Amino acid sequence: MVAGTSARAAHAQGRLLARPKENAVDGQPGSFEIGLERERDGILYVPKSYDPDRPAPFVLALHGAGGSGRNGLQPLLPLADRFGFILLSPDARLSTWDIIHDEYGPDVAYIDRALEKAFSRFSVDARHVVVEGFSDGASYALSLGIANGDLFSHVIAFSPGLMAPAVQIGKPRIFISHGANDPTLHIDRTSRTIVPRLERAGYNVTYEEFAGGHAVPRQIAEQAVDWFMTS
- The pLDDT, as a whole number, for residue 5 is 56
Q: Cβ atoms within 10 A of the Cβ of 37, count?
A: 15
- The pLDDT, as a whole number, for residue 2 is 45
Residues lower than pLDDT 70 in the chain? 1-5
Angle at 153 between CA 152 and CA 154, to 5 degrees: 90
- The pLDDT, as a whole number, for residue 158 is 98
pTM of the model: 0.96
Domain architecture of the chain: domains with CATH? 5-230 (3.40.50.1820)
- The pLDDT, as a whole number, for residue 25 is 83
